[in-house]
Structure 1
Amino acid sequence: MAKEIKKVVLAYSGGLDTSIIIPWLKENYNNCEVIAVSGDVGQGTELDGLEEKAKKTGASKLIVADLKKEFIEDYVYPTVKAGAVYENRYLLGTSFARPIIAKRIAEIALAEGADAICHGCTGKGNDQVRFELAIKAFAPDMEIIAPWRIWSIKSRDEEIDYAEAHNIPLKINRETNYSKDKNLWHLSHEGLDLEDPANEPQYNKPGFLELGVSPEMAPDKPTYITIHFEKGVPTMLDGKELDGVGMVSALNKLGGENGIGLADLVENRLVGMKSRGVYETPGGAILYHAHEVLETICLDKETARMKQYLGIKFADIVYNGQWFTPLREALSAFVDKTQETVTGDVKLKLYKGNIINAGVTSPYTLYDEEVATFDADNVYNQKDSAGFINLFGLPIKVKAKLDQKRNNK
């Protein structure tokens, strides 16, 4: 190992991986200085006591960067506007949090004159790619240390053994050792019984769900909400103006209380394997749904179709850690153009895990009741459809007649 490294900036969460990495770095890199950096993207109480813990395990200091507002408004909202959902289910909660954290860590590493940046991502996961691509974008010459790719530890049980041997306090034990990632947008659960897709998630087990309740435990009375959007961005909830942090926090509470936003899926990781995860995204599920409803009356068919196609690519880009690329910027520019008329109000009914449409209006609506009505109207001549069908069906008719000629020979 490179003994010349004197100062390392560590992406620090205080979880199992990064808790043992600080003493491991000092043992293996000649007692180097370790500066712990935590990006606050809404982990909440997970940040409590983090500075004391980092210093006790050997860090020279802890820097906590408040990234919540930027995270929601510059990373989450552009993804929602794009309608980007990975493999139809995953609302990208971990994926778009990594680039903003890695960007800030790279900036701090350069400012501190660090020799290397270290992260606790495993060699099996997606996060190692997301972190390192972002670091390459802002500190292209910085050395990166990824302990999971070089140390002898092979499992989370062995990590706990290391922590116990070094008197490192942990908030978990071997029985509740789910791998979790929490931010303002979501909470993910992986590992233990969830590694077998045949096992049903224990939603009603005390302590499993943190952002809400299961649909069975939700109230019998529905909750109605109205979200106002301006150019694709949610700005008001039930008539009250909210910034990004306030909006997501409020919708997380309302959605969580009504059992909204649970997703159990087997996804295809970038590194090639399949993995099973359970995600809680109550506010995010509501925002995606509301935005999609509003677009149904504000976008023409061809623009909506193109957005759907590109939304799949946008989701892949976010999932694969390619946020800081020309293609993502170009796709965002396209999305922003489509959102110029996506302004209006969406009313929803939240009930036992369901998001039910309850009305949508927009000053830019393309829905004309006079044209669409089943009653008498003076704007649509139904006789016109005969000529349209003749031309639209001409290729089918021509092929059928030619097939008949060929078959009769």
Structure 2
Amino acid sequence: VPDEAYETTAPADAPDDALELTLGWENGIPVSINGSTLDPVSMVEELNRIGGEHGVGRAIHVGDTILGIKGRVAFEAPAAAILIATHRELEKIVLSKWQQFQKSHLADFYGMLLHEGQYFDPVMRDIEAFIDQSQVAVSGDVTVRLYKGGISVLGCSSPNSMFDANVATYGETNELWDGRDARGFARISAVHALLARTARSQSEESPA
């Protein structure tokens, strides 16, 4: 796709100095940029302007259509790229493993149905209810660096963060269990795999 097809700055022509932004979130909704509160429309407009100047948000998407054919589109969405990156990072520290798994799965399904014009199907309201509930704890600040088309997350914080250095430090220390607990947990976690392996081994050894 030629550069002239885009309105945003080409990454190669973006400023040589990186720009850092801190986005504030409340209950899954972006509310501020560098401490300045903005309404949703103004937020998108400002992020489009800033991100566009730094070459952020250009992409080419290849996907399937409801008619069964493949489609390819070039697009530019600086605000969406920045919002998705910061929102996803914040969710990592406030949502449980299974909340993240289910939300990712349902988000793909929701997007597919929406793309195919199924917005009014009742299942969409069901998915929205799950997503709304999942966002109750998604509040905090995320700092990113924009540089020549790239978005790098520098850090995030939240009053609802599940990180607790007083309880455990990944790969180093913890206060909730010791080696004996870990050994027992490993054995129990492997039971289903051991049973499956034993059953299959016996089946392979049995005469036909």
- The two structures have a TM-score, normalised by structure 2, of 0.91
Counterpart of 2:68 in 1: which secondary structure?
A: coil
Which of the residues 130, 137, 144 maps onto 1:348? Answer: 144
Distance in structure 1 (CA, Å) of the matches to 2:129 and 2:163: 26
- Asked if 1:250 is matched to 2:49, the reply is no
- Asked if 1:393 is matched to 2:190, the reply is yes
Distance in structure 2 (CA, Å) of the matches to 1:242 and 1:300: 29
Structure 2: gaps of 5 or more residues: none
Distance verdict in 2 for CA 1:404–1:313, change over 3 Å? closer
Q: What is the aligned length?
A: 205
Say which structure is richer in strand: 2
Distance in structure 2 (CA, Å) of the matches to 1:343 and 1:361: 9
Backbone CA RMSD of aligned residues: 1.8
Counterpart of 1:369 in 2: which secondary structure?
A: coil
Distance in structure 2 (CA, Å) of the matches to 1:350 and 1:327: 37
Counterpart of 2:117 in 1: which secondary structure?
A: coil
Structure 1 outlier segments of 4+, above 6 Å: none
Find the counterpart in structure 2 of residue 378 from structure 1: 175
Does 1 or 2 have the higher relative contact order (CA < 8 Å, sep 6+)? 2
Distance in structure 1 (CA, Å) of the matches to 2:112 and 2:192: 36
Find the counterpart in structure 1 of residue 2 from structure 2: 202
* Larger Cα-atom Rg: 1
Deviations 1:298-320 (A, max 9, x none): 11011111111111111012211
Distance in structure 2 (CA, Å) of the matches to 1:325 and 1:404: 47
Distance in structure 1 (CA, Å) of the matches to 2:42 and 2:91: 23
Find the counterpart in structure 1 of residue 157 from structure 2: 361
Within 5 Å, which residues of 2 pair with 1:9-408?
201-203=1-3, 207-210=4-7, 212-370=8-166, 371-405=168-202, 407=205
Distance in structure 2 (CA, Å) of the matches to 1:330 and 1:358: 34
Distance in structure 2 (CA, Å) of the matches to 1:329 and 1:376: 43
Counterpart of 1:383 in 2: which secondary structure?
A: helix
Deviations 1:367-403 (A, max 9, x none): 2223134444433323311111111111222333445
Distance in structure 1 (CA, Å) of the matches to 2:125 and 2:41: 23
Distance verdict in 2 for CA 1:385–1:245, change over 3 Å? same
Distance in structure 1 (CA, Å) of the matches to 2:102 and 2:40: 27
Deviations 1:168-196 (A, max 9, x none): xxxxxxxxxxxxxxxxxxxxxxxxxxxxx
Give the counterpart letter for 2:127 in structure 1. L
Distance verdict in 2 for CA 1:359–1:400, change over 3 Å? same
Q: Shift of residue 329 of structure 1?
A: 1.8
Q: Shift of residue 244 of structure 1?
A: 0.8
Distance in structure 1 (CA, Å) of the matches to 2:29 and 2:49: 19
Structure 1: gaps of 5 or more residues: 1-200
Distance verdict in 2 for CA 1:317–1:402, change over 3 Å? closer
Distance verdict in 2 for CA 1:375–1:394, change over 3 Å? closer
Distance in structure 2 (CA, Å) of the matches to 1:312 and 1:402: 36
- The two structures have a TM-score, normalised by structure 1, of 0.48
Counterpart of 2:187 in 1: which secondary structure?
A: helix
Distance in structure 1 (CA, Å) of the matches to 2:118 and 2:197: 48
